[in-house]
Structures are given as structure tokens and as C-alpha cells.
Chains A and B, each alone.
Chain A
């Protein structure tokens, strides 16, 4: 399966609020960032945490967000490791 995003792509995290375990922190939901690199393919923790059989395996991406976007202030950036289904193309 082809990776959906290439390094340099602008992506937006989904504005979700799942009732189950997830590895997309609240502070980075519904935010735009830039893909730094691909980290390989790993089982989706959201599914594994629910003991679901055959958890989907997805590409994980390092995505850089600016402090200005996340917090409205600051000049640092934050990189998060995010499963593909947490992301969509930023338009």
C-alpha cells in the first residue's frame, strides 16, 4: 500500500474526540502541520487497545507543528508521531 503523504506535505489532524484510547493528543487535534518523515508501518493502537483482532497497520509520520498554531504564541515547534488515519490533506 502506498504511503498517502510524502515529506513536506501539509496535513491536518482530524478534529476527533474518540471514546477509546488514541495516540493523537488533544492539543494537536484539528491542527495543520508539515510531514517531516515517514517512520514505517505499525498497528493502529486505537484498535489494539480495544483487543480488536487484525488491527489495521498504517504508516506513521513525524509531523511538525508550530507553537504559534498550537498555542497562539511561542517560536518553537513540536513534532508528533501520528498514524496515517489521524491525518488528512490540508487544503
Chain B
């Protein structure tokens, strides 16, 4: 957005559009409100954080999550449905030797069901253009420095699979409960631009 004036203008134009679609019987403003509220309640980063905390604590769950993401998240009552298409979930885990980072260079594909709508930087040309070419440089812009020996894989979400990163569990979290671990995980960690 660029300033109050253009914001007022686009706001007016969107209202005009919604009114036109209501007149044609394609949209019901109240139904849309309710659907949005319900969706945003369901699709939040809390889901992704919970999955990671569970994977850190439960080796069996971690194995199932990496083998078949859709089946494993159903164990915790989550699904990749609810959006416009049912999507395949592929979970990728960081370890001492590998670091994973997610992008969609063509548009903005993102695991919304598990992380909510994506942050602005994820949708920016700056991120989308550079992370496939120079992931270490991009991570450095986020203040994330990787050991030179770590191999980086960038997952460019160009089809119907959505990716989620399981960060490495920090050694300082030994003995933490699942609730405490949930608070350690960040959204950027689930995308791969942060270590945790």
C-alpha cells in the first residue's frame, strides 16, 4: 500500500465490487464475514508450532509426519483442507547437515492451513527472486547465519504440495513441556528463514 489516499481509493473500489457481486447473487456479505472469521480462527501458526513441538517430543510422530504429512496432522485434528484445494503436505526436517527453506517464486503458495496467511516478505519480489539463487545471503538478511558445512535445500512450491519445516530442537530446551516448546517455535522457523 502507498499512503492513505490510495488506501481510501482501493477500499472504495473493493466495496463497489462487493456490492456488484451481491447484486448478482454471487456473494453474501454476512456469509463472507463469517467464513473469513472461521477460516482465520482455524488457519494460524499455532498449528504449525504444535506439530513441531509434538515432533520434537515424540519420535514416532516425527517419523510419521515426515513420511505422510496429511495423515500425521490428522492425528492432531488438523487438515490441509478448508482452503480452495485440498493440498498435499510435505514436511521437511532440518538436522546437523541440512537446512530447508520454503518459497513460491511464481506466486505465493504457502501452507495457510498450518501457518495462516503468509507474512508480507514471503510474497515480496525481493524474497522470491533471491532465495532460490542465494539462500545463505537471504537468510543472513533475516539474521540467520548457517554453518558453512550445512547443505541448504530450497523448496519452490510450484504445484499442489505445500511445505513445512521442522527446525532443529535447541539444546537449551531439554526437559521442556509441549506447551513450553510451542512457545519456542517461530513462524519464520517453520518457513526456514530462522533456525527455530
Binding site for B on A (CB under 8 A): 23-25, 27, 39-40, 42, 45, 60, 62, 64, 67, 70-71, 74-83
Contact B154 A79 (CB under 8 A): yes
Number of A-B contacts (CB under 8 A): 65
- Interface of chain B: mostly helix, strand, loop or mixed: mixed
| Cβ-based interface call for B88 (8 A) | yes
Contact status A81-B154, CB under 8 Å: no
> Contact between A81 and B161 (Cβ–Cβ < 8 Å)?
yes
User: In this complex, which of A60, A71, A80 has the most chain B Cβ atoms within 10 angstroms of its Cβ?
Assistant: A80
**Which of B38-46, B127-135, B165-173, B182-190 is near enough to bind chain A?**
B127-135
A27 closest partner in B (C-beta): B132
Q: Which residues of A contact B90 (CB under 8 A)?
A: 39, 62
Q: How far is the CB of A86 from chain B (nearest CB, A)?
A: 9
Q: Are B133 and A71 in contact (CB under 8 A)?
A: yes
Are the C-beta atoms of A81 and B160 separated by less than 8 Å?
yes
Residue from the list A25, A40, A82 in contact with B88, Cβ < 8 A: A40
Candidates B135, B153, B155, B156; contact of A25 at CB < 8 Å:
B156
Given A76-B154, A77-B153, A60:B160 Cβ within 8 A: yes
Q: In whole angstroms, how far apart are the Cα atoms of A40 and B132 in the complex?
A: 24
| Contact in complex: B88, A79 (CB < 8 Å) | no
23 interchain pairs (CB within 8 A)? A23-B158, A24-B158, A25-B156, A27-B132, A39-B88, A62-B90, A64-B153, A67-B133, A75-B152, A76-B152, A77-B151, A77-B152, A77-B153, A78-B153, A78-B156, A79-B153, A80-B158, A81-B156, A81-B157, A81-B159, A82-B158, A82-B159, A83-B159
